[in-house]
Amino acid sequence: MKIEIMLKCSVCDGYGYIADRHPNDPSARDIDCQECDGEGQKASVEIYDSIADAKADYPDAISFTERDK
């Protein structure tokens, strides 16, 4: 079965934004993360026999959703 696995974005650590330069720079600005489009999370669709199998591989995932077969 196809399972959509929602994961926290690894680039922005789930915040949805990043600094456009070093965060200690006084002129730094927060901009939307380009990796997750400012959502803070990304979906991945993979094939597993069950949601339990997917949870075993992705223990830190936000959610699991069964998709069309």
Residue 69: its pLDDT value, please? 59
DSSP code of 23? T
Are 51 and 30 within 8 A, CB to CB? no
Sequence ranges of the domains in the chain? 2-66
pLDDT at 31: 95
**Does pLDDT of 68 surpass 80?**
no
Categorize the per-residue pLDDT at 23 as very low, low, confident or very high, splitting at 50, 70 and 90.
Answer: confident
Which residues face 7 on adjacent strands? 42
This prediction has a pTM of 0.76
Q: Is the pLDDT of residue 67 over 80?
A: yes
Overall average pLDDT of the 46-53 stretch: 94
